[in-house]
Amino acid sequence: MHLKSIVLKGFKSFPDRTKLDFGTGVSVIVGPNGSGKSNVTDAVLWAMGEQSPLAVRGQSMQDVIFGGGRGVQARSSAEVEIVLDNSDQTVDLPLGEISIVRRLDRNGDGTYLLNGAKCRLVDVLEVLSDTGLGKEMHSVVSQGRVTAIVSSKPKDRRLLIEEAAGLGKHRKRRRRAQLKLERTQDNLDRALDVEREAR
Ligand code: ATP
C-alpha cells in the first residue's frame, strides 16, 4: 500500500485546490523555508483523523484553515483528500483505492468521507488500523521527533519500532485475551466450589 495522492483545498498555506501525486518508493518535497513542506505532512496526518491541534502545529483546529495573506482572502473551510493504493488488498475491502476526505468549517463543523460516502471518524480509524498508518503508528515523524528518537534510550526506541511494525496492536490483543482467560479461570473456580459444596 502506498500514498497515491493528496489534494489540499483551503488547508494552511494552500488556499486553492492543489494536488500532489506520489509514485511508489521514496518521494521528496523540496522548497525554501516556510514554503509549506511541513504543511503537506500536517495535511496527511489531519486527513487520517488527527484530533490534536498541537500535532498539526496549531492552537485550535480551525488554525488549519487558510487564514489569508499575500492578497488572497481567508477561506471558510479546509479540506484534504488522501488516496491510498489498495491494489495489494492491505485493507480487506474490494477497493483498488481508498479515498479519505476530511473537511472542517470555521464554525467547527467537520465531515469525513470514505470513498465518497459520509462516515464517522471511527470508520476512518478502523480502515487505517490494518495499514500501519494512523494514530500512534508513527507514520508521520516530524522534524523535532527525529532528534528525540535518535537521542532516546534504546528501550524507548525499541517500543517505538515495535509500534511502527504493528506489534502494539497484537500486544493489546494479547492483554485482552489474558484478561478473558483470567475471568474464565475465576468462573471455573467458582463452579468447582459450588460443585464441591453440593457433594
Ligand atoms: P521549514 O523548511 O522552515 O521547515 P516548511 O516549508 O516546512 O518550512 P511550513 O512550516 O510547512 O514550511 O509552512 C509555514 C508557512 O505556512 C508559513 O508561511 C505560515 O504562515 C503558513 N501557514 C500556516 N498555517 C496557515 C494558515 N492557516 N493560513 C495561511 N498560512 C498558513
Q: Which domains does the chain have, with CATH numbers?
A: 2-134 (3.40.50.300)
Whole-number pLDDT of residue 134: 63
| Calpha distance 2→24 (Å, rounded) | 7
The residue to mutate among 38, 64, 141, having the most atoms of ligand 1 within 8 angstroms of its beta carbon, is: 38
| Calpha distance 120→114 (Å, rounded) | 9
Q: Mean pLDDT, the chain, as a whole number?
A: 91
pTM reported for the whole predicted model: 0.81
Is it the case that residue 65 has pLDDT exceeding 90? yes
Whole-number pLDDT of residue 138: 64
Residues 88, 40, 10, 70, Cα dihedral to 10°: -150
CA of residue 87 to ligand 1 center, whole Å: 34
pLDDT per residue over 124-152, tens digit each?
A: 988 887 676 766 666 777 777 788 888 99
Q: Which residues form the pocket of ligand 1, taking CB atoms under 6 Å from any ligand atom?
A: 12-13, 31, 33-39, 63, 65-67, 69
Would you say 39 and 17 are in contact if contact means Cβ atoms under 8 Å apart?
no
Q: Among candidates 45, 71, 48, 70, which has minimal Cα distance to 58?
A: 45
pLDDT per residue over 9-59, tens digit each?
A: 999 999 999 999 999 999 999 999 999 999 999 999 999 999 999 989 999
Would you say 80 and 5 are in contact if contact means Cβ atoms under 8 Å apart?
no
